Each structure stands twice: as C-alpha cells, then as structure tokens.
Amino acid sequence: MKPVVGATPRVVKSDQEWREGLSPEEYAVLRQAATERPFTGEYTDTHDTGVYECRACGAELFRSETKFDSHCGWPSFFDPADSEAVLLREDRAMGMKRIEVLCASCHSHLGHVFEGEGYGTPTDQRYCINSIALRMVPQG
C-alpha cells in the first residue's frame, strides 16, 4: 500500500502483524486495496442502528444515520462519523481517476468516495465502502 503523504497512522503494525490479525480476505482489502465482489458483503443491505468501525483497528468511521441505499453493491454512507475519521487520496489504478478512502487511524483501505451522482444526500457524496473493511457495533 502506498504511504499517505503528510499523515502518520496512530496504529502501526508490521506486515506480519497485519497478516496474523486479519483473515486473508480482510488483509487483501484492508492492506492491499482489493475490492470485495458487489452485493456479497455483510453490510450491503443492513439497516440496523449502530456505529461502523474499521475492522483492522476499531476506529469509528461511520454511523448508521449516514448510511443510505445506493443499490451499487457495497455499503454507502454520505458522511464519515468525524471529519478526521478518514483520509482521502487520489487513486489512478484501473485506468481511471478516483478518490480512495482510508482509515485515518491505521491507513487501511476502505473503498472510494464519489460526488455529484444525484442521490440527494446532504453532502452529495457516496462513500462506497467494502463491508469486509467494517465492523458494525449495534446501538440502541
């Protein structure tokens, strides 16, 4: 994974420690920026109330109040739980320009953010996040 310029992760582990703490599928997405297949993730259609944490480090990333049905195949959120919960960086992989979303605490890959798609959310953004990168903690 490419380092994020100007940002230091609060959770730092060796590659071996990440491999030991994550399943092979989790490691591929979180540490190698892979993408899970659409419509296969645990949280794609979840509507429970709770907090979505980074599966790698436990940092709070999103809240259920900002989750919406985009029908894109991955969980979608219109805003992070905190303005500093995620980091954004340009991603030119796969022959296109996108904005990658990373956990600010451990710099794990979460997914991508898109703007101007017309979903009618308060931010006009869609944080398209891999379910396997998240852990939902129910509340209420």
Catalytic residues: 128
- Delimit the domains of the chain by residue range: 15-138
Tokens 């297949």 sit on residue = 37
pLDDT digits (tens, 9 = 90+) for 61-105: 999 999 999 999 999 999 999 888 999 999 888 788 999 999 999
CATH of span 15-138: 2.170.150.20
pLDDT at 2: 52
CA 13 to chain centre: 19
With a pLDDT cut of 70, the percent of the chain lying above it is 94
Give the CA count within 13 Å in the CB-facing half-sphere of 85. 17
pTM, two decimals, is 0.91
pLDDT digits (tens, 9 = 90+) for 3-22: 555 577 788 899 999 999 99
Return the amino acid letter for 83: S
